[in-house]
Amino acid sequence: MENWEKQLKDDMNQPLPAMIDQRVEETLKQLPEKKGKRNILFGLSAAVAVLTLTFGLSLISPTFANTMKEIPVIGSAFEFAGNIGVKKGKEEGLALELGEQIEIDGQLITFTDTLYDGGEIHIGYTIQVNEKKQDSQFTSSVEFFIDGKPMDSHVMGVDESEVKNGLYAGTMSIHVREELPDSFILGIRPREGIAWSVDLPVTKKGNPRKFLINQTKKQGDFTIMYDNITFFPTSTEISLRLMMDEEVFTAHKNGFLDYRVIDDKGRVLQLLSGSGGGSEAESGKVLIIFKHSFEPLQTIPNFITIKPLSYGNNKDPLILDKEKWEGKKTRLSQGAVGNLTVLSATEENGVTTFTYKVEGDDLYRQAMAFWLEDAAGTRYNPDGPEVRVDGTVNQYQKSFSKTP
């Protein structure tokens, strides 16, 4: 249960010297204008760039100044890192563009955007390094503040990828359990010491729709109380409570429950994140409150189907089928659950993208189970998660920067 919750928090700062301030302003003027899609449903205008800068005390050095002069301009970090919901929010003009920069552990960090639609808070950032990137205090041990007050219980996740040598783009996503104002200042600082800190403006944008479910179902040893479903611009969130006997919880008899969510068109929604927490057992029962976020939907469906699934404990996946790729349609068996058929592969700018379809009982999990290997058995993993092909129910794509 300790793996389900993390506690974090933040605040504090110093003015930026004029030399650095001027260089940052010049850099920001070079930012390319992105023409994202605008969805009439939300009717939102583009955010205005914010040039407020905060900086730590100690790390303004000639090396740092030279690094700033050489940093390439890539626009928004959301275009390179983050799930499909974050990218959708960016395309629809929900992000607030920033230009905050700090130096942490010898790494130049630029905060490019914040995004908040009432669900999770998303922070886009880039990291510029001169040598090989090391683990940073920025993503490993920080605390957050809302308008100067410590943030309550929350869960944080980080998605980061290398754009080019020495330049990384990432998205930090914070799932908050407390009510937040529509506009606030999000402070970030290390949990130990105050060598650096940053304040980022956050503005809620979008039009979430919340619907009551209020149904209770029995699944084996579990009683599941489905509370509500909320359609955010960047995610579909399901809130539920899971009750079980204390003995079942202690023994982990059923492993864990997963949830297959299917819309009215038969599409299995991609799981983006989840969080949960509970309290001490009462009267021999344990109650855990969960929130699961799935991919966003363009329009609100007529109905949603939720199927809880138990996968058991610590079972390694069984590799059922391998085939040599020779540029033509190739079918792979996935055993009793179904099959996966590779339809095509295309290459662009050094990235190979495979298009394939899955047939069976658990489409999204089947779509996840696809990677490449060379003749020696060396595994090549994709650049990111599988993406469903628009307009289809069971066709997906995966992209690989490195291939056999």
DSSP, res 226: E
Q: Provide Rg for the chain, Cα atoms.
A: 23
DSSP, res 80: T
- Whether the per-residue pLDDT at 39 is higher than 50: the answer is no
* Nearest to 55, CA basis, from 171, 181, 194, 156: 194
Long-range contacts of 25-28 (CB under 8 A, 24+ apart): 25/51, 27/68, 27/71, 27/73, 27/99, 28/99
The more confident residue out of 253 and 172 is 172
Taking the C-alpha atoms of residue 260 and residue 237, their distance in angstroms, rounded to an integer, is 13
- Which amino acid is located at 87 in the chain? K
Question: ∠ CA 247-250-256 to the nearest 5 degrees?
Answer: 105
Taking the C-alpha atoms of residue 354 and residue 397, their distance in angstroms, rounded to an integer, is 5
Report the percent of the chain where pLDDT is more than 70: 76
Alpha helices in 110-190 (DSSP H): 137-140
The pLDDT value recorded for residue 315 is 53
Q: Is 10 within 8 Å of 144 (Cβ atoms)?
A: yes
End-to-end Cα, the chain, rounded Å: 40
Confidence at 79, pLDDT banded by 50, 70, 90: confident
Taking the C-alpha atoms of residue 110 and residue 251, their distance in angstroms, rounded to an integer, is 46
DSSP, res 17: P
Kindly state the tokens that stand for 47.
């955010």
Four-CA torsion 23, 26, 27, 28, nearest 10 degrees: 120
Confidence at 123, pLDDT banded by 50, 70, 90: very high
The pLDDT value recorded for residue 6 is 39
Taking the C-alpha atoms of residue 241 and residue 277, their distance in angstroms, rounded to an integer, is 10
How distant, in Å, are the alpha carbons of 169, 198, 199 from that of 52? Answer: 21, 10, 9
Q: Please tell me which of 16-30, 153-167, 311-325 the model is most confident about, judged by mean pLDDT.
A: 153-167
The pLDDT value recorded for residue 373 is 92
How far is C-alpha 160 from the geometric centre of its chain's CA atoms? 10
Q: Please tell me which of 175-179, 237-241, 332-336 the model is most confident about, judged by mean pLDDT.
A: 237-241
The pLDDT value recorded for residue 153 is 73
Taking the C-alpha atoms of residue 225 and residue 337, their distance in angstroms, rounded to an integer, is 28
The pLDDT value recorded for residue 42 is 25
Q: Strand 222-231's sheet: what is its strand order?
A: 209-219, 222-231, 236-245, 285-294, 271-278
The more confident residue out of 342 and 222 is 342
DSSP, res 5: -
How far is C-alpha 82 from the geometric centre of its chain's CA atoms? 5
